Amino acid sequence: MADPAETPAPTKPTRRIDARSLRGLAHPLRMSLLEALGLDGPATATVLAARLGENTGTVSWHLRQLAEHGFIEEETGRGTKRERWWRQAEVTNNLRTADFREDPESRGALSVYLHELTRQYFQRVSAYVTEDWDETWRAAGTVSDWAGMRMTPAQLAALNAELMAVIARHTPAGDVEPDPEALPVVVQLQSFPRAPRDPR
């Protein structure tokens, strides 16, 4: 979920997350469940519970909460009444942090959401650097940063929009058959101002 000032036209429907939906999402387990469904595809509560080391009943309850707020949906035509399959909803969620910073009822939920999101980003990178990839994939991946830039808010927003447009150009349509050698790829983007330090 991005927080840019501008984003390229999405291929999926877009919804702007409101305070109620944010409070429904901002829970460590719910965010882990949503991430698992987004990265690895549809699954049952039993599969997700085993993957995350949680109780199946607890996972089922949190999945229903995510569904109530429109983040996931049941995969119809699959499973049984006792074993429901869940998938990430076909919608692009747009969360703008500025919508909630002045709302005392949502500030706590926003803090949980941002903390869990940065934890997920860190864990993905940490897993990548510790896994045993062959040299071809190791050379293709990157963990980089550029810290010497100085920008205005408008320039930073324009940079984010341009980067997202590049990613969109490299994202195949859902009906395109992937190359047999292709693996799932995660692209993470964090761009933010850094408070200047007193040189004294």
Quote the tokens at residue 141.
């991946």
Per-residue burial over 124-157, b if 16 or more Cβ lie within 10 Å, else e, is eeeeeeeeeeeeeeeeeeeeeeeeeeeeeeeebe
Residues with Cβ within 8 Å of residue 20, at least 6 apart in sequence: 69
Pair 70, 63: CB distance under 8 Å:
no
The one-letter amino acid code at 141 reads G
Q: Kind of pairing, strands 43-44 and 92-94?
A: unpaired
Going from N- to C-terminal start, the domains of the chain cover: 14-133+143-169
The one-letter amino acid code at 117 reads L
Write out pLDDT tens, residues 105-124: 899 999 999 999 999 999 99
The one-letter amino acid code at 38 reads G
Q: Among 179, 181, 168, 176, which residue's Cα sits nearest to residue 189?
A: 168
Angle at the Cα of 186 (from 97 to 60), degrees rounded to 5?
70
Per-residue burial over 31-54, b if 16 or more Cβ lie within 10 Å, else e, is bbbbbbbeeeebbbbebbbeeeeb
Per-residue pLDDT at 103 = 86
Q: How far apart are CA 25 and CA 71, in angstroms?
A: 8
Q: How far apart are CA 101 and CA 110, in angstroms?
A: 8
Per-residue pLDDT at 171 = 87
Write out pLDDT tens, residues 69-111: 999 999 988 877 778 999 999 998 999 888 888 888 899 999 9
Write out pLDDT tens, residues 25-56: 999 999 999 999 999 999 999 999 999 999 99
Question: Does domain 14-133+143-169 sit in CATH 3.30.413.10?
Answer: no
Computed on alpha carbons and rounded to an integer, the radius of gyration of the chain in Å comes to: 19
Per-residue pLDDT at 11 = 62
> What share of the chain in percent tops pLDDT 90?
68
Q: How far apart are CA 39 and CA 33, in angstroms?
A: 10
Phi-psi region of 51 (alpha: psi -120 to 50; beta: other; left: phi over 0): alpha
The one-letter amino acid code at 183 reads L
Q: Which 3 state secondary structure label does DSSP give 114?
A: helix
